[in-house]
Structure 1
Amino acid sequence: MTNNTHPISPIALITGGSRGLGKSTALRLAAQGSDIILSYRSQRAAAEATVAEIQALGRRAVALPLDVGRSADFEAFAASVRQTLADTWQRERFDHLVNNAGEGVHQSLMETSEAQFDALFQVHLKGVFFLTQKLLPLMNDGGRIVNISSGLTRFALPGYAAYAAMKGAVEVLSRYMAKELGPRGIAVNTLAPGAIATDFGGGTVRDNAQVNGFIAAQTALGRVGQPEDIGGAIAALLGPGSGWINAQRIEASGGMFV
């Protein structure tokens, strides 16, 4: 019989779970026994395809629409999550939150527009802050949160000032979340990927052979990252043996610029 405090299987909510790192995370978590709620902004078909892949692994999954850049929609999204938990799982709470949804801007400091800056702020910082705030009443005590950052908060590459600044703020926010949510037993960490071969930022790392080769040459393990590398790292942070890891920035970059 299902118990809200000690569910048979954990439920993870992943924003931006229809493709890239979010999809890889969803599949890895499902493979290790989690059920999944994933959000998508516009790619409904891709989200439903990911749900089907999760179901093929024997887990339950639901895809819900959400634009993380529109904080006015968060209350309605939280209500949708609450209803989904009741309808699909007959539960009131989920266990793990992965704040993954994001977008990239590659623009020099001098050429970054205020509109670009504001869009990054809405998605990467304001979105993470207030979406987490709205979802926390639906999280089980003893749960875990992983906020996605970037290797660009440790090393600087021209053209990423605004993006990296938002991710740096998320890393600070994560430590404060860990401090304030400690009494509920909720651990909060940031996972900072290095350069990954996805369609993020126009797919430059994946599709541009010169960029790909440069990154591989600057990485101790001699290649660029793949989505599975990050999905596996996040799944490990949410696994049963990692509950004592808290308030940390963990970089998964294969050793970039060491």
Structure 2
Amino acid sequence: MAVHRIAGKTVLIAGGAKNLGGLLARDLAAHGAKAIAIHYNSAAAKADAEATLAVLRADGAEAIAFQADLTRADAMEKLFADTVAAIGRPDIAVNTVGKVLKKPMLDITEAEYDAMSAVNAKSAFFFLKEAGKHVNDNGKVCTLVTSLLGAFTPFYASYAGTKAPVEHFTRAAAKEFGARGISVTAIGPGPMDTPFFYGQEAPDAQAYHKGAAALSAFTKTGLTDIADIVPWIRFLVSDGWWMTGQTILVNGGYTTK
């Protein structure tokens, strides 16, 4: 059905300047998205955002970038409002924003916990809230979580623990927005080959994760490649619309529920 195609659609990607979000933006443009708004958090990512915009425009998409700290509800409201004003109401909204911390519970400070909760849980809640207000009927919404939601492991309490609420946010939003034909999903990749992974893991832990998935031997690094996550998101925001309210762990057999 035409309503579920990528071509001609308007897209908003939070965290869309680089890494997984940037690759997703490029992929959707290559599949015919009409207009794409990408968000980035800090001035340090401005050059990445501009490079991504150049590729999107070369593929024929109208493209614009916004910088914002999405841990504030008013900033999330402004992101959606600015997107609507610039390129129209989104048909597809994807939230790739996240913050990783690997640390024993006994060593986590209140400030660290509050920061993790603000980025991983609070921003996801208000992204879904604003998506519910601004995404077009028959739209698609997807949030990135983590495959650690299916793991029994130490040291990630503040990371997986603050991503866990997004599972219920996803279910609730799917029920509340479903009458308008909007599907809402969450994707939990395994450890990904991005700077976020290497910044948290010591060499011995890196070696473990690189061999932990059932299909590790068939990837370049043994980790989840962002190029293997993008097609899943593309599917869920197009032909896979019938899947809604679900959290899907996509990790090559790293862990499962």
TM-score (norm 1): 0.88
1:73 match? 75
2:195 match? 199
Q: 1:31 corresponds to which letter in structure 2?
A: A
1:109 match? 105
- Structure 1: distance between partners of 2:230 and 2:206: 20
1:234 match? 233
Q: 1:44 corresponds to which letter in structure 2?
A: K
1:88 match? none
Q: Secondary structure at the match of 2:242?
A: coil
Q: 2:101 corresponds to which letter in structure 1?
A: V
C-alpha deviation, 1:71, in angstroms: 2.2
Q: Secondary structure at the match of 1:243?
A: helix
Kindly report which structure 2 residues correspond to 1:98-137, keeping only aligned pairs within 5 A, or say none: 98-137=94-133
Identity %: 32
C-alpha deviation, 1:183, in angstroms: 0.7
C-alpha deviation, 1:195, in angstroms: 0.5
C-alpha deviation, 1:7, in angstroms: 9.7
Cα 1:137–1:29, aligned 2, differ >3 Å: closer, same or farther?
Answer: same
The equivalent position to 2:213 in structure 1, one of 211, 219, 227, is 219
- Alignment of 1:150 with 2:149, yes or no, is no
- Structure 1: distance between partners of 2:128 and 2:168: 15
Q: Secondary structure at the match of 2:91?
A: strand
Contact 1:121 1:166 in 2 (8 A): yes
- Structure 2: distance between partners of 1:179 and 1:136: 11
2:254 match? 256
- Structure 1: distance between partners of 2:165 and 2:6: 33
The equivalent position to 2:56 in structure 1, one of 46, 49, 54, is 54
Contact 1:149 1:193 in 2 (8 A): yes
C-alpha deviation, 1:201, in angstroms: 4.7
Q: Secondary structure at the match of 2:151?
A: coil
Cα deviation, 1:52-75, whole Å, max 9, x if unaligned, reads 111222222111112111223223
- Structure 1: distance between partners of 2:99 and 2:197: 7
1:24 match? 23
- Structure 2: distance between partners of 1:148 and 1:111: 26
TM-score (norm 2): 0.88
The RMSD of aligned alpha carbons is 2.2
- Structure 1: distance between partners of 2:69 and 2:143: 17
C-alpha deviation, 1:113, in angstroms: 0.9
Q: 1:153 corresponds to which letter in structure 2?
A: L
Unaligned 5+ runs, structure 2: 217-221
Cα 1:103–1:248, aligned 2, differ >3 Å: closer, same or farther?
Answer: same
C-alpha deviation, 1:199, in angstroms: 1.1
C-alpha deviation, 1:209, in angstroms: 5.2
- Structure 2: distance between partners of 1:136 and 1:143: 9
Cα deviation, 1:129-178, whole Å, max 9, x if unaligned, reads 12332343321000011011100100133211011111111011101110
Unaligned 5+ runs, structure 1: 1-5, 86-91
- Structure 2: distance between partners of 1:54 and 1:7: 14
Cα deviation, 1:111-144, whole Å, max 9, x if unaligned, reads 1111111111111111111233234332100001
Cα deviation, 1:203-223, whole Å, max 9, x if unaligned, reads 456xx6543431232111122
C-alpha deviation, 1:202, in angstroms: 4.8
Q: 1:218 corresponds to which letter in structure 2?
A: A
